[in-house]
Chain A
Amino acid sequence: MDSTLGLGTGSKGLSSSQSGASDGDSKEGSKRFGDAPPVFVMPDGYSYMHVKRNGLIFGCATEKNVSPVVVIELLSKIAKVFKDYCGTLSEESIRKNFILLYELLDEMLDYGYPQVTQTENLKAFVYNEPIVVAPVADTGKMINPKTASASAVHKPVISSVDSDGRKTSLSANQKNEIFVDILERLNVLFSNNGYVLNSTIDGCIQMKSYLAGNPQLRLALNEDLIVGKNGGSSYGSGVTVDDINFNDCVNLSEWEHGRTLSFFPPDGEFIVLNYRM
């Protein structure tokens, strides 16, 4: 492979492999040394970086002094785009859609440099249709039958052919729908005498859009939402989050006054905002 690439071997160097295939030896190894860190350098002078998604490893190699954060973000982005286009991310969906993925990689990276990386912008360049693979496991019963989690749908963002080869047209039987998930991870640490040592919430609002024509959406949050610890001196009056960050597509012009976000939802899955409290 060309050794002069900005990001190592770039697209063709991207490999996916099943992580579950570790044999006895490597288990022994991982017990002693832990898992391989996402960024490491080998004596050959190459740095290897990888992210793990759904049991698949997306990796790349470089011999330049790149920004590791950017590479990790890029690999995550590639995994996300694959998922958006294939519907599910699994070994089988990658095997079945390899031509589509070649095409995506070619447009996302040129000579190791990221080019078009957003799902909806890539649509203009992609001509293959995904072959839908049935999801491996059922997502389980929903607590509230009227709602469905975004993880319950495994639709690709572009029209696809099903495994029988019949083409399912996106426009004809496409439901105009958008999924809004609020995901919160509660971290609570108790000591052995029941005393709470530490508790935090990491949350995000995640959306998955299948809306035709990208209409503008507005998302109104509690008007009494306070960002930053210092802002909320009067406790109890509102919701206080320590910090919050937004997706690139979000327009913040009404944020300061009305706590309202407006945005044109990009296709596929995306995180509107992350917060921490």
Chain B
Amino acid sequence: LHSYRRRTMATFPPNRTSNMPVPGGPGGAPPPGAPPGASSSAGRDESYFTESRKGEVNELRMLLRTFATERDKQRKRDIMKKVIAYMTLGIDVSRLFTEMMLAIETRDLVIKKMVYLFLCNYAETHPDLAQMCTNTLVKDCGNEDPMVRGLALRSLCSLRLPQMIEYTSEPLRRSLQDGHAYVRKTGVMGILKMYHLNKEEFDKASFNDILYDMLRDPDSSVVTNCILVLNEIMADSGGMALNRAVMLHLLNRIHEFSEFGILSVLDLVPRYIPANDDEGFQIMNLLDPVLRTANAGAVVATIRAFLSIADAVGKRAGDDRDEDSPTVDDLKHQVVVRIKAPLVTLLASGSSELTYVLLKYVDQLIDLCPGIFDDEYRVFYVRYHDQSHIKHSKVRILAKLANPDNAPDIVAELGELVANVDEMMGRIAVQSMASIAMHDSGGQGAVESIARRLVEMLDLHGIPHISSEAATALASLVRRHPSIVSVVSAPLPRALKYISEPAGKASVIFLLGECGESIVEAPYVLEKVIDSYDSIADAAVKTALLGATVKLFFYRPPEVKNMLGKVLKKATEDVSSQDLHDRALFYYRLLRSSPDTNIAKSIVTSKSMTMSTKHFAEEDDSELRAALMHEFNTLCTIYRCKAENFIDEENIVKFVKVPKEHPLPREAPVTPVTDPGVNTNTNHMGGVAMADAPQQSVTTVPSTVSAEVDLLGFGDDLSAMSVPTPAPVGPASLQSLSLKSEVILNGEDYQNKWSSVPDAEAVIIPALAMSTGPTSTDGVEEPLKAFNVFTMASGELSTEFKFFLYGQEEDAYGGGFFLIQAVVSKAPFNLSLTIKPNGGDTNPTKRKEKIDQLVELIKSALGEYFP
């Protein structure tokens, strides 16, 4: 083969590129032995994915050495492409690392991207070599072209080298203030990569506050990434901290988001509890236009949001609300009615994959609100070209849609499907039919007509699985509707002869016992089975045989007496099944010890097998269904099982609603959620386009929140703070806050107390501008100590001072702790505070008041640094 290839090379000199045969034409790789189109040349037409041999990597190395001297841009690119092609095929080309890195300094973005791709792919296995190119990457992060900045930053964060953290955090921090949205959003994603690489370093860098701050970014793609990153970083506490200001801010901007970006906001809504009923309805109205879009992901996310709002604002039993306010169930019903049409349209117009997934969603919604989808039953008719899994889902759903009006149609349709070549499909059709009868959802006469159909199926010898399935269905049906015995009994003796499947056979034998009174030949057909007892392999069949024989004995003792003796002997000696053995012994003792046969008779032939409810106990899955509704719009919906059954524990994200103590009391006046008109010509990705971030102002912010929205500090805090206060305020002048002059708290306690307060309850005061700053940590600690605010730990970093402070109220005032994390950043000087109250007053307004005063206290203590 090798020599053959040489010959090929001779025939096609490297520079002759046109009219080359295209190897691996449509639909496949070249047949083995065909001349490989890819010679070692840098010719440009050949396929990049032909077989390779040892030595090719060396040839590539030779080519790469010519790279620097090569003038033609296209040929340069082709050399790179070859390397990447080999990498894609899984050939280890990491030996070329050094050569590749020489090419990193280039103005051609196509080549740059390829080199970065190579770098990210092999950095993990060659950390030393990768470290050498860090300088170039860091330098590129400061390039004038935002594309290059973004690209370099993304690659830098994707190297997956923990030792690189020190190089990455600086460019990362700078990128968050970049003028271009593309760089900012890449930076935000970079934070997440850093988080997974090294959690300690990440905690030190305290990116969280910056991310919360960036939720106000004018560009929606940056906001989307912030939400995604915060959700993943704070997965332990259920996702990003959420309050009314944040939620309304995001909802009012929802029309700016891209088709996938909008999902990040919609997914937050179910975690938010509306401040009052009106706000809940306003949010629903605001989101309603989303249902008109063709984006199935957004539509189902909206459905989930609606259902969750219905949960929050609906009236429950024992609620003291107005008589006429709608209940939770009413509201959910209304929601499902509203979303029916859009969902069915998506179902009908989507790809087959989407149809499959949406069918599962519809299935769950039918369980939630039965009856609503009934009139659309034709949509769920099976189509010829549907894939089998779609057909199966549809047939299962059809059974749930039956009502007295449409049941004849549905049963007829199911009847057509029974003889389908797809065996599974036939079985499901029979089960669905039986389920309509079991639930009595078909109205008058439906049960009997279905029973007749099933009886007909018993005789379908040609399709053994169907007759077996029909027998099983009839066995259940007889227990639910004993009246159909007369319909069922006639064909049983002959059915026994040709039903071979154990489940079906057991069912027929069971039925023979049940209908023994009316079937003359019942004892004789059973006798034949008993004679061949030893050849029966399946325990279920044997058990059914035993049960049926005992039953029959009480109806017709003289004929059955001998048989019963035989079967009892066989079964008590049978050790293959414990259950069967015990049962046989039980019957034997019952018959022997019973003084009066009537007692034994009443036990054996009692109608206790007849059931009065619609479900068998094991079919009642209401608990599971309720659990699944909690996880609507996740994989749980598809698999119909809870997340902990198939998701690794570490990957389960708890679902945590925002705390009940809402920033607003129920009676508070509602700020309108303005409807910006979703879907009115949204040039979605405008922000990501090349222009620098547009300085559009957010005008739709709710009015209670001041224009300078501080998303996590509640609006009132800020307005309180902007009021100029008389300069140094001593502790004495504070009415409701008084701090102890001596507090005992060790580091571990501090840690525990800090983490016991959820981040959502923390009050964050960002970036108070300072005129000058402290020169050392003492410059802050000493003045604060005078005001009874003590320091647990502090430190100086290159860009900022960090303090972990605490104070405790006098016992008379509640004795609560305040834990404070203060960051004084150096350029420009400003002070950020994160305050967590622990213990003390539980009244939210009181507590807030105290925190306000604490902030004032800190400000006045550090008065020398403030203008």
Q: Which residues of A contact B (CB under 8 A)?
A: 2, 4, 6, 18, 20, 32-39, 41, 45, 47, 50-52, 63-70, 72-76, 90-92, 95-96, 98-99, 102-103, 106, 110-111, 113-118, 121, 124-125, 127-128, 136, 163-165, 187, 189, 191, 197-198, 200, 202, 204, 228, 242-253, 262-264, 271, 273-276
Contacts and interface: CB of A to CB of B under 8 A. Distances in A.
A76 B297 CA distance: 12
Contacts of A2: 160, 196
8 contacts: A20-B27, A75-B353, A90-B26, A113-B225, A136-B26, A187-B383, A200-B379, A245-B293
Interface string B813-845: 000000000000000000000000000000000
A76 B349 contact: no
Contact of A111 (B26, B114, B193): B193
B435 to A, nearest CB: 21
Given A72-B357, A115-B185, A248-B295, 9 more contacts: A41-B646, A45-B648, A73-B296, A124-B147, A136-B26, A164-B18, A165-B44, A191-B412, A276-B349
Contact of A73 (B354, B424, B689): B354
B97 interface: no
B349 A116 contact: no
Nearest to B25: A92
Contact of B47 (A68, A95, A127, A248): A95
Contact of A63 (B160, B292, B648): B648
A37 B185 CA distance: 35
Contacts of A111: 158, 189, 192-193
A203 B635 CA distance: 29
Given A200-B378, A243-B341, A248-B259, A110 B189 contact: yes
Interface string B641-674: 0010011100111000000000000000000000
A114 B260 contact: yes
Contacts of A66: 634-635
A204 B345 CA distance: 11
A192 B856 CA distance: 85
Contacts of B392: 34
Closest 7 CB pairs of A and B: A34-B388, A251-B681, A38-B353, A70-B297, A274-B349, A121-B685, A114-B260
B49 interface: yes
Interface stretch (B80-88, B720-728, B799-807): B80-88
Q: Is the interface of A mostly helix, strand, loop or mixed?
A: mixed
A271 B679 contact: no
A247 B294 contact: yes
B575 interface: no
B34 to A, nearest CB: 16
A197 B357 contact: no
Contact of A252 (B85, B647, B680): B680
B294 A245 contact: yes
B221 interface: yes
Given A65-B653, A99-B84, A251-B681, A127 B110 contact: yes
B688 A121 contact: yes
A63 B294 CA distance: 27
Contacts, number: 253
Given A69-B633, A165-B17, A243 B345 contact: yes
A50 B113 contact: no
B647 A248 contact: no
A95 B26 CA distance: 10
B685 A118 contact: yes
Contacts of B379: 200
Contacts of A136: 26-27
Contacts of A252: 292, 679-680
Nearest to A120: B685
Interface in B69-86: 74, 81, 84-85
B301 interface: yes
A98 B685 CA distance: 26
Q: Is the interface of B mostly helix, strand, loop or mixed?
A: helix
A189 B633 CA distance: 32
Contact of B353 (A51, A98, A113): A51
Contact of B345 (A37, A52, A245): A245
Contacts of B341: 228, 242-243
Contact of B258 (A33, A64, A117, A165): A117
A39 B357 contact: yes
Interface string B225-237: 1001000100000
A125 B389 CA distance: 39
Contacts of A41: 635, 639, 646
A121 B113 CA distance: 19
A50 B353 contact: yes
B263 A70 contact: yes
Contacts of A65: 631, 634-636, 643, 647, 651-653
Contacts of A99: 81, 84, 110, 114
B357 A248 contact: no
Given A35-B389, A70-B263, A197-B413, A113 B228 contact: yes
Contacts of B389: 34-38
A163 to B, nearest CB: 7
B180 to A, nearest CB: 11
Q: Could you say which of A38, A51, A52 has the most chain B C-beta atoms within 10 Å of its C-beta?
A: A38
Nearest to A228: B341
Nearest to B81: A99
A250 B679 contact: yes
B684 interface: yes
A259 B314 CA distance: 36
Given A34-B388, A45-B646, A65-B636, A6 B682 contact: no
Interface string B213-254: 000000001000100100010000000000000000000000
Nearest to B147: A125
B636 to A, nearest CB: 7
Interface in B689-721: 689-690
Contacts of A165: 17-18, 44-45, 74
Given A124-B689, A165-B17, A276 B345 contact: yes
B422 interface: yes
Nearest to B294: A245
B48 interface: yes
B633 A67 contact: yes
A33 B389 CA distance: 9
A198 B378 contact: yes
Interface in B308-342: 341-342
A270 B342 CA distance: 19
A250 B683 CA distance: 10
B113 A197 contact: no
A193 B536 CA distance: 45
A51 B189 CA distance: 27
A20 B154 CA distance: 37
Nearest to B637: A68
Given A106-B113, A115-B185, A4 B294 contact: no
B117 interface: yes
Interface in B1-37: 17-18, 22, 24-28
Nearest to A37: B389
